[in-house]
Amino acid sequence: AQKVTQAQTEISVVEKEDVTLDCVYETRDTTYYLFWYKQPPSGELVFLIRRNSFDEQNEISGRYSWNFQKSTSSFNFTITASQVVDSAVYFCALSDPNSGGSNYKLTFGKGTLLTVNP
Amino acid sequence: GAVVSQHPSRVICKSGTSVKIECRSLDFQATTMFWYRQFPKQSLMLMATSNEGSKATYEQGVEKDKFLINHASLTLSTLTVTSAHPEDSSFYICSARGQAMLLPQYFGPGTRLTVL
């Protein structure tokens, strides 16, 4: 069965520090997709990135970067030079053919609450 | 990016009443919409998946007669909580996905339901 583990429940950093949010996943499929979403205090989930299982290239988008390692089934997310506005809950999610057949449902991790202090 | 709206954002109702929540994809056609429930400081729990023009598929443990879902068009899905009770109080979130099933889900801003 598919599973996403975000072992870090809460992380607190001081502004300008770098922070890495861990995500480990389990799936039987060779084709799957990984996502990161941000949920700020307002509640609306914001899509950050999607990665397919055949593309292990790391990605950088501004202060955000993602490290996908199939060998360790991990898809970690790093924020460089964190800012107060980065404070939010971050969810890692997995989508594969077994999670709902053709609907490719999302399996979410429990989320990591990131607090960036000024 | 794709925009999904939800209405109302907040609703307070008395026990026994029914509440309808609307989810709209504003700038794309949503073949599939999903309804989630989120308790405080917890992850999202998928309640049901709806494809336009078809009956919704409910997750195990979710009462289909309690949570009525209609996906009548490619831009609108509704969730009706029937005969709401205090234990139905929660944050309800919808998401929508375009015609390619491998596209990301885009989420609405959520609806905070409080049943007195």
Q: What is the pLDDT of residues B38-94, one digit of tens each?
A: 998 899 999 999 988 888 999 999 999 999 999 889 999 999 999 999 999 999 999
pLDDT, position B54 = 84
Q: Are the beta carbons of B76 and B24 closer than 8 angstroms?
A: yes
Q: What residues in B contact A43, CB-CB < 8 Å?
A: 91, 93, 109-110, 112
Mean pLDDT of chain B: 92
Task: Provide the 3-class DSSP secondary structure of residue A23.
Answer: coil
Determine the Cα–Cα distance for residues A10 and A75; give it in Å rounded to an integer. 18
- Say which amino acid occupies B21: I
Q: Of A19, A18, A17, A21, which is closest to residue A7 (Cα–Cα)? A: A21
From B32, B51, B107, residue closest to A45, measured CB to CB: B107
Contact A103 B43 (CB under 8 A): no
Size of interface A-B (CB pairs under 8 A): 52
Q: What is the pLDDT of residue B23?
A: 96
Dihedral over alpha carbons B79, B84, B89, B93 (to 10 degrees): 0
Q: Can you give the pLDDT at residue B104? A: 86
DSSP letter, residue B104? P
- % pLDDT > 90, chain B: 76
Contacts of B54 (CB under 8 A, 6+ apart): B71
Per residue in A36-65, pLDDT (tens digit) is 999 999 999 999 999 999 988 888 999 999
Is the model's pLDDT at A1 over the cut of 80? no
